[in-house]
Amino acid sequence: MNEEQRLASQQVKQPKPEKDYSSYFERVVTAAPSLKDAKKRGKEEVKYHKDFAIDEEFLGMGQGRKFYIRTYGCQMNEHDSEVMAGIFTQLGYEPTHLIEEADVVLLNTCAIRENAENKVFGELGFLVKYKRKNPEMLIGVCGCMSQEESVVNKILTTYQHVDMVFGTHNIHRLPHILKEAYMSKEMVIEVWSKEGDVIESLPKQRNGAIKAWVNIMYGCDKFCTYCIVPYTRGKERSRRPDEIIQEVRDLAAQGYQEIMLLGQNVNAYGKDFADIEYRLGDLMDELRKIDIPRIRFTTSHPRDFDDHLIEVLAKKGNLVEHIHLPVQSGSNDILKIMARKYTREHFLDLVRKIKAAIPDVALTTDIIVGYPNETEEQFQETIDLYREVGFETAFTYIYSPREGTPAAKMQDNVPLEVKKERLQRLNAVVEEFSSAALKKYEGEIVEVLVEGSSKKRDDVLAGYTRRNKLVNFAGPQELVGQIVKVKILEAKSYSLRGEFVEIVNRHEVEV
């Protein structure tokens, strides 16, 4: 049996979920989600809107009102929340950290695994009591979960205190959606299942003044068989280089010290440009010339990670020596069923190239255990690969079936207990490697970007090294926002403890 036949044999035909929008009757539905439509690629052209502006009719809508946003999931979602906070602020709303004070509560949700969704449903249940106390409060659900038909149906039937549901492509429509919700008092649903546009000049209310997120591309076309993201975030579309470079320059001028470039699959950056040949390596080569101490990016896909990018990252300067490179599995059979489009050998070869060019690189990864029908041998191959690469740490997950994805239709013969036990065994290896990686720093002097006080004590400062290691040390608050040298005294389980040496002078950027 070849791989395709095997894959097919693992798929069990399931009855198609019936699309029943009758319950939408009397609701304000401008668009309802459809996973089927969200799967389409290439039919619609990406529109590039350069001049987002809030219509005058909406200005002042938030006067005397407060908003509260709770964000779940990845950094892309965190950044979307910053955009929504920017829109709220332009409308005249003020932020609050207290739900009871809020006039609008938004849950910016994540659909990547079932437990992420359960947290949101739990929170929605919890919000009923606030709504009873203050019936004028608007409650909204946005983010990846609102792109799923089943979630929207569940909200319609079970969580009728929700006032608005809007999708990841509808963020810029927030002023319209709010107005509609104030006027109609019925649940407003606006979820476009389109391939997606690129919208520039959106306002942003950033969460901090030291590190900033910058989107470089949106969406994902990889369609790994377990992943819901290509359905919830639309097709791959890149922002133009000049827009990104300008945004990073502006952030540098405002005093930001570190930029995290964001995309679901940043190595596909530029693939969609019809008029220029310009990829992530080219972008990084320009960004490294900007006078800002650190630039990172997330998240990478091994398949599109090209030699030019490695060459550019090896120039270092403000490009840090940390690469997050999700491998997902060390077994060729599983990688094939996951449709990752690379082999174990390809991955190891890529790691060899990266290490040869950047010998002090810190590699971290994501791994899924308990994929449908994963055997003990296939799991062992993942453990062996982990050891061979020597990842410094990893995010590890038990596979979670996502409705609408090909893997959700596969029959699975691995009991949950076995999956849990595999996760524990993998985590033991991850811990072994992460403590060994930390131990190496004892006695060394490292550069730390000081972000604030440690969670436990005000007089202990905390920050990260270029290779993303958390460091705590005693020092005055004036050091917050600066890059300092710290001598490492002790490696703890998940962090380093050190003593302050000196402030690093204005970063020398190699050009």
Tell me whether residue 227 or residue 251 sits nearer to ligand 5AD (CB atom).
Answer: 227
Instruction: Closer to ligand 5AD by CB, 257 or 264: give it.
Output: 264
Q: Does 361 bind ligand 5AD (CB under 6 A)?
A: no
Q: Which of 146, 264, 364, 382 binds ligand SF4 (CB under 6 A)?
A: 264
Answer for which of 103, 197, 200, 366 binds ligand 5AD (CB under 6 A) is 366
Residue 74, annotated as binding a ligand: yes
Q: Is 142 annotated as a binding residue?
A: no
**To which residue do tokens 């490179």 refer?**
325
Q: Residue from 226, 386, 441, 473 that binds ligand 5AD (CB under 6 A)?
A: 226
By CB under 6 A, residue 367 contacts ligand SF4? no
Structure tokens belonging to residue 164 = 């608005």
Do 388 and 348 contact (CB within 8 A), yes or no?
A: yes
Spell out, one character per residue from 99 to 128, where the chain touches ligand 5AD: x when CB under 6 A holds, - when not.
Answer: -------------xx---------------
Residue 469 binding ligand 5AD, by CB under 6 A: no
Verify binding: residue 265, ligand SF4, rule CB under 6 A: yes
For position 303 contacting ligand SF4 by CB under 6 A, the verdict is no
**How far apart (Å, rounded) are the C-alpha atoms in residues 118 and 257?**
36
- Six-digit token string for 478: 């004036």
Residue numbers 324-343 binding ligand 5AD by CB under 6 A? 326, 328
Given the complex with ligand 5AD, which of 204 and 340 has the nearer CB atom? 340
The answer on whether 144 is annotated among ligand-binding residues is yes
CA nearest 64: which of 99, 98, 103, 100? Answer: 103
Q: 422: Cβ–Cβ under 8 A, 6 or more apart, which residues?
A: 369, 370, 374, 379
319: DSSP letter? B
Rounded to 10 degrees, what is the CA torsion of 211, 214, 219, 224? -40
Torsion over CA: 203, 206, 211, 215 (sign): negative
Q: How far is the CB of 222 from ligand 5AD (least distance, A)?
A: 11
- Tell me the H-state helices in 224-279: 229-233, 241-253
Question: CA-CA distances (angstroms) from residue 174 to 88, 91, 168?
Answer: 8, 10, 11
Instruction: State in angstroms the smallest separation of the CB of 69 from ligand 5AD.
Output: 21
Told to check if 227 binds ligand 5AD by CB under 6 A, we report yes
Question: Which residue in 196, 230, 293, 406 binds ligand SF4 (CB under 6 A)?
Answer: 230
In sequence order, the 6+-apart residues with CB closer than 8 A to the CB of 94 are 62, 65, 66, 67
List b or e across 211-220, with b for residues whose CB sees 16 or more CB atoms inside 10 angstroms.
bbbbbbbbbb
8 Å CB contact between 484 and 508: no
Binding positions for ligand 5AD, 389-428, rule CB under 6 A: 397, 399-400, 402
The binder of ligand SF4 chosen from 145, 189, 217, 229 (CB under 6 A) = 229
110 is in an annotated binding site: yes
**Cβ–Cβ < 8 Å for 67, 102:** yes
For ligand SF4, which is the closer residue by CB, 230 or 370? Answer: 230
Q: Which is nearer to ligand SF4, 227 or 438 (CB)?
A: 227
Residues annotated in a binding site for [4Fe-4S] cluster: 74, 110, 144, 220, 224, 227
Q: Residues in the site for ligand 5AD, rule: CB under 6 A? A: 112-113, 226-227, 326, 328, 366, 368, 397, 399-400, 402
Q: Residues in the site for ligand SF4, rule: CB under 6 A? A: 220, 222-224, 227, 229-230, 264-265, 301
